[in-house]
Chain A
């Protein structure tokens, strides 16, 4: 069996490990544009922060390709998939035949058209190791940095660089920060915290026009800066799949085993859209755990074993300057809210089940909540009063506890 994998990040690594669980012998060829050993994308902000380095942020050990018998072609871009003849072609014209193909092309930064953007000399995205290296080169103690976008990536960038520049100004068109992850109360709490730490934040406005080091904002004010980071969003890299004829929405459409609409072509990770168990809708989730689990499920399916990943939900663990927050699921339902000075908790219930939550400050043991969402556990089977208090296994009955902790078979 000849496996070909496009990409070298989380989904691809999940794919390799999934294949090797089932098939130790088939040949795996991995092709990726980035020339680096597989590294952890979310760690680029920690790299700038000095909490990791390029060696420690490798996603798998140096021996990964060799141990898994992967023929890795790094620094090589795939330009075409031929689903009939079953080969992929690279920018240099080289062709790689496959029996099963995994597309793990991920996402790229979305840069909206902005007037005068080309007049800005120091302008960056914040997605890749090369982005982080390039940004690292220009940051100086006197730099004034403007970050457009107050989502996870923009704010992680702010955290990563604040200590080494003069000012960090974040702006976002949305009325609040982290709009897709937090609710209004949570956003306000985190914004206040970030501002106390020294990050300036302006919401409800964006750049109308750039002119060199000068940005005119839509709210009538202006901002001078030395370095610009654009982090307004990401787009799934679906082009290869689309041109090959696969069904593509905002992401490549796949089933729980990562099958696309093309025979023997699978896809996983940020380039796909998946069913969100908590909301019942299909969308691009773009988070690392799902990329791995999808890649692993696809890899196994490619090698002939069905082990579907069918309980994807949006979920995030985030920390900014040691304030931690964990969120999961959907916020559409009945809300239970607890707010204290330094912590916030919201549980969301629908149809007698937990479907979502937000924890800020005290995040201990949050996975017990996540598991209730993913398992769709009816809340009348657990002691929900205990769970309201905090996540704990005491909320389960003695039989479940014996299974979970006592090794008693179900």
Chain B
């Protein structure tokens, strides 16, 4: 299955992936309208250490043996064709997934009442995840690897 992989040497720390993610999942067609003046809640987040000049983006790894899916108290997380997806109607925002995700890759959405996570843009009509599509330096790629 294709996954998002990080090549941290190439990451400039530009945070474009965060903006593209927020836009892709905003349901809006105009990026400026979707993001202007709002605090974004992207599902991918850049970690950085400016002193050591390290940057990299973190999003859901779609683990083979996903702990979040097994731990979800609501049965809201499941695997669909290898992608860990969330049923936001079922989620009650208990944060058990935050308790168990070893990557820190799941977080509340802007309402704070329901969780959100990277679903590889499978629910917003894209073939390539928006974060990868917009990365200027191929620091994140969408590939099939063993």
Contacts and interface: CB of A to CB of B under 8 A. Distances in A.
Nearest to A324: B95
B106 to A, nearest CB: 8
A60 B5 contact: no
Given A393-B58, A406-B7, A317 B96 contact: yes
Contacts of B56: 393, 401, 405
Chain A residues touching B, majority SS = mixed
A223 interface: no
Nearest to A45: B92
A191 to B, nearest CB: 20
B47 A392 contact: yes
A404 B94 contact: no
B59 to A, nearest CB: 9
Given A43-B92, A57-B74, A319-B94, A370 B102 contact: yes
Contact of B92 (A51, A58, A370): A51
A316 B146 CA distance: 34
Nearest to B104: A365
Nearest to B90: A56
A43 B8 CA distance: 40
Interface in B86-119: 89-90, 92-104, 106-107, 112-113
B102 A42 contact: no
B34 interface: no
Interface size class of chain A, counting residues whose CB lies under 8 Å from the partner chain:
35 or more
Given A58-B75, A324-B95, A406 B104 contact: no
Given A293-B70, A405-B5, A405-B61, A367 B101 contact: yes
Contact of B75 (A40, A293, A404): A40
Contacts of A402: 8
Contacts, number: 128
A73 to B, nearest CB: 21
Nearest to B55: A394
A165 B49 CA distance: 50
Q: Which of B48, B54, B98, B113 has the most CB of A within 10 A?
A: B98
Interface string A382-394: 0000100001111
B68 to A, nearest CB: 8
A121 B44 CA distance: 53
A322 B108 CA distance: 11
A371 B97 CA distance: 12
Given A288-B73, A405-B5, A406-B6, A363 B95 contact: yes
Nearest to B71: A289
Contacts of A404: 61, 102-103
Contacts of A58: 75
A319 B103 contact: no
Contacts of A318: 94-95
A370 B100 contact: yes
Contacts of A407: 3, 5, 143, 145
A317 B98 contact: yes
B8 A296 contact: no
B70 A14 contact: yes
Contact of B99 (A40, A367, A392): A367
A52 interface: yes
B58 A405 contact: yes
Nearest to B101: A367
A291 to B, nearest CB: 10
A356 to B, nearest CB: 13
Interface string B1-33: 001011110000000000000000000000000
Contacts of A398: 8, 54
24 contacts: A43-B74, A43-B92, A51-B93, A288-B96, A292-B70, A317-B98, A318-B94, A319-B94, A322-B113, A363-B95, A365-B98, A365-B101, A367-B67, A367-B97, A367-B102, A368-B103, A368-B104, A370-B99, A393-B56, A401-B8, A405-B5, A405-B6, A407-B145, A409-B146
Interface of B: 3, 5-8, 47-49, 54, 56, 58, 61, 67, 70-71, 73-75, 89-90, 92-104, 106-107, 112-113, 143, 145-146
Interface of A: 14, 40, 42-43, 46, 51-52, 56-60, 288-289, 292-293, 296, 315-319, 322, 324, 326, 328, 363-368, 370-371, 386, 391-394, 398, 401-402, 404-407, 409
Given A319-B94, A365-B104, A393-B58, 12 more contacts: A42-B74, A289-B71, A296-B70, A318-B95, A319-B93, A364-B107, A367-B67, A393-B47, A393-B104, A394-B48, A401-B8, A404-B102
